[in-house]
């Protein structure tokens, strides 16, 4: 649809730990509509870096679900598990800049965030690095979320030096997501509101790596009857692929739009797209 004159590059970045459910579909739908409304590109990135959580075949199933709902990506998908050398390169650049240090702390000896900086000035005698952390610069990170409004976070104080490479040797989500968004030239991120709290970290890391932080929009999460976020861990069921139009309509309504009749998925997207675009213009600043 349309030519890419806008320079907009968006993405959907599911973790293949199970099929998409009605909650993750909201992020897929919103990111897809936003890319199309901007005449931009919509990329698919399979975030399979956290290998213990990867479920075999979930990536193929997610791709089938997206296709069945008429969400087609514009470039070949990428798998994080195949991009390890790129993460090593980016990590080396941060190391050269003096932004990385080894940490010997174990989760048992630490509470939750913020990290108190125990290993910042060097490892305790006789201890070896288990994980690698970013030396977070002082300062407050300000940004405007297109849906949630102005945000600010003092990452050094509220989160502390966060992990880039985990004690099990795996690259941390916060790090690889920034490297990938940077290398793929992503200009706009549309995703679930659970990641709003990660955005300040990702923005400052992007700048340290020389990337312009993308614009962000965080869409609402779906919760179950107990008020828990729908997730694969809570065994949220995959949505109904036998009735794709109804599935799309339910997600559309949850995103806050009025329902309209659609005979098939093509007519659904044809009508949804201008409505999404109009709504974005309505609240643009």
Residue number, 40 or 103, with CB nearest to ligand GLU: 40
Q: How far apart are CA 220 and CA 101, in angstroms?
A: 36
Q: How far apart are CA 44 and CA 59, in angstroms?
A: 11
* Residue listed under structure tokens 């598990």: 81
Cβ-based neighbours of 96, under 8 Å, separated by 6 or more: none
Nearest approach, Cβ of 189 to ligand GLU (angstroms)? 6
Binding of residue 186 to ligand GLU (CB under 6 A):
no
Residue number, 13 or 44, with CB nearest to ligand GLU: 13
Q: How far apart are CA 78 and CA 73, in angstroms?
A: 11
Residue number, 161 or 180, with CB nearest to ligand GLU: 180
Select the span of 8-16, 63-71, 136-144, 249-257 touching ligand GLU (CB under 6 A): 8-16
Using the rule CB under 6 A, which residue among 68, 86, 167, 195 binds ligand GLU? Answer: 195
Nearest approach, Cβ of 270 to ligand GLU (angstroms)? 26
Phi, psi of 249 (to 5 degrees): -65, -40
Q: How many residues bind ligand GLU (CB under 6 A)?
A: 7
Residue number, 94 or 177, with CB nearest to ligand GLU: 177
Residue number, 59 or 161, with CB nearest to ligand GLU: 59
Sheet of 163-165, strand order: 100-103, 131-134, 163-165
Q: How far apart are CA 140 and CA 258, in angstroms?
A: 38
Using the rule CB under 6 A, which residue among 9, 15, 161, 164 binds ligand GLU? Answer: 15
Tell me the sheet residues that pair with 262: none
Binding of residue 218 to ligand GLU (CB under 6 A):
no
Using the rule CB under 6 A, which residue among 8, 9, 10, 14 binds ligand GLU? Answer: 14
Binding of residue 191 to ligand GLU (CB under 6 A):
yes
Select the span of 9-17, 53-61, 98-106, 123-131 touching ligand GLU (CB under 6 A): 9-17
Nearest approach, Cβ of 264 to ligand GLU (angstroms)? 28
Nearest approach, Cβ of 47 to ligand GLU (angstroms)? 4
Binding site for ligand GLU (CB under 6 A): 13-15, 47, 177, 191, 195
């Amino acid at each position: 649809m349309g030519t890419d004159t806008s320079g907009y590059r968006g993405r959907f970045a599911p973790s293949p730990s199970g099929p998409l459910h009605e909650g993750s579909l909201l992020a897929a739908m919103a990111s897809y509509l936003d890319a199309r409304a901007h005449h931009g590109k919509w990329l698919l990135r399979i975030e399979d870096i956290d290998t213990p959580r990867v479920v075999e075949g979930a990536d193929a199933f997610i791709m089938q679900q997206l296709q069945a709902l008429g969400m087609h990506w514009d470039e070949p998908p990428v798998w994080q598990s195949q991009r390890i050398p790129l993460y090593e390169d980016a990590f080396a650049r941060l190391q050269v800049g003096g932004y990385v240090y080894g940490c010997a702390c174990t989760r048992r000896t630490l509470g939750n965030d913020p990290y108190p900086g125990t290993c910042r000035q060097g490892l305790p005698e006789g201890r070896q690095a288990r994980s690698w952390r970013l030396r977070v610069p002082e300062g407050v990170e300000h940004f405007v979320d297109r849906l949630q409004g102005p945000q600010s976070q003092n990452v050094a104080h509220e989160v502390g030096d966060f992990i880039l490479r985990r004690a099990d040797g795996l690259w941390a989500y916060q790090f690889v997501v920034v490297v990938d968004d940077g290398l793929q030239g992503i200009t706009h991120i549309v995703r679930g509101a659970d990641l709003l709290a990660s955005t300040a970290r990702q923005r400052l890391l992007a700048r340290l790596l020389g990337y312009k932080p993308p614009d962000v929009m965080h869409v609402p999460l779906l919760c179950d009857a107990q008020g828990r976020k729908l997730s694969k861990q809570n065994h949220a069921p995959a949505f109904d692929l036998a009735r794709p139009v109804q599935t799309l309509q339910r997600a559309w309504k949850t995103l806050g739009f009025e329902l309209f009749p659609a005979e098939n998925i093509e007519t659904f997207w044809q009508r949804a797209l201008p409505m999404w675009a109009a709504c974005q213009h309505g609240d643009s600043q």
